[in-house]
Structure 1
Amino acid sequence: MISTLKTTARTMATALAAAAAFTLTVPTGTAFAINEVSCADQGDFLRIKSHHSTGITSEDCYANRGRTDFGGWWIDKISTGNNDVRLHDANGSVVNIPRHRVVTYPNNPPKINAIEIL
């Protein structure tokens, strides 16, 4: 009987230690479900026209809630579609843009490190 109690206690202690280790090592928080979609598709997607310091220009569209790296590109135009958007600027500021807005930056575009759909 005592042997069974010790084995049960040891098994429970091992399970508890494994659960604690899992809890400490697995990050918590919002899942990053944002994904890039085709801009040719019709929809109220987040649409961003941007350029890089190398001279490359791009037009990218995103759907779903989450945050993704934007790589320090400069934004020339943003259309939020049906999304509330947060831009994380390279200078550390955060800019919120509400849904159904179109914003252009013809002279002084922001350099963005990350974009987030709320």
Structure 2
Amino acid sequence: MAFDFKKAARKTLVASVVAGAVLVAVPAVGASTASANEVGNCFDKNYVHLYWHSDFNVYGESCYANRGNNDINAVWADRITTGNNNIQYRDFNGSYVDIDAYHDVSWADGHEPHLLGLAIK
């Protein structure tokens, strides 16, 4: 059985392309930002506490701990308490708003921000 240089070259080329794709993908995965953890209960006053409602008049509460970013499914913020966290929220209109730790912010009906994201700094 003779050695086939063309077949070996083809296998080497395929292996190189696959290895290159893996090398390109690894930094992209490693560069992702951490997300703030949504916690199951809101009993700790140090958590970020978001009181919200949806376009369909569903009301709820969500709490977050630890540094990082969270995408939020376009809810209206009725009130945010920051706990011991400095936060930044991203509004549907594209603005970014910072709120310092130990603040309790609420909005009048019709003036609530429409949230897309929340970051604990």
TM-score by length of 1: 0.77
Match for residue 79 of structure 2 among 77, 80, 84: 77
**More displaced 10-residue stretch of structure 1: 35-44 or 88-97:** 35-44
**Identity over aligned residues, as a percent?**
31
Query: SS of 2:22's equivalent?
Result: helix
2:64 paired residue number: 62
Q: Which runs of 5+ in 1 are unaligned?
A: 1-10
Q: Does the 8 Å CA contact 1:39/1:47 hold for their aligned counterparts?
A: no
Question: Paired residue for 2:118?
Answer: 115
Structure 2: which 5+ runs fail to align? 1-11
Equivalents in 1 of 2:116, 2:44: separation in Å? 27
Distance 2:119 2:96 in 1: 10
Q: Which residue of 1 aligns with 2:44?
A: 42
Structure 1 residues 7-41: Cα deviation after superposition (integer angstroms, max 9, x where no partner):
xxxx9xx78x83x4333113143532411113343
Query: Does structure 2 conserve the Cα–Cα contact (< 8 Å) formed by 1:68 and 1:114?
Result: yes
2:42–2:63 contact (8 Å) kept in structure 1: no
Shift of the 87–40 alpha-carbon distance from structure 1 to 2, 3 Å rule, reads closer
Computed over aligned residues only, the root mean square deviation of the Cα atoms, in angstroms, reads 2.3
- Cα distance per residue 1:87-107 (max 9 Å; x no partner): 011111111111111111113
Give the number of aligned pairs: 106
Contact kept, 8 Å, 2:82 with 2:103, in 1: the verdict is: yes
SS of 1:23 mapped into structure 2: helix
Structure 1 runs (4+) greater than 2 angstroms displaced: 20-23, 28-31, 38-43
Amino acid at match of 2:80: I
Quote the offset at 1:65 in angstroms.
1.1
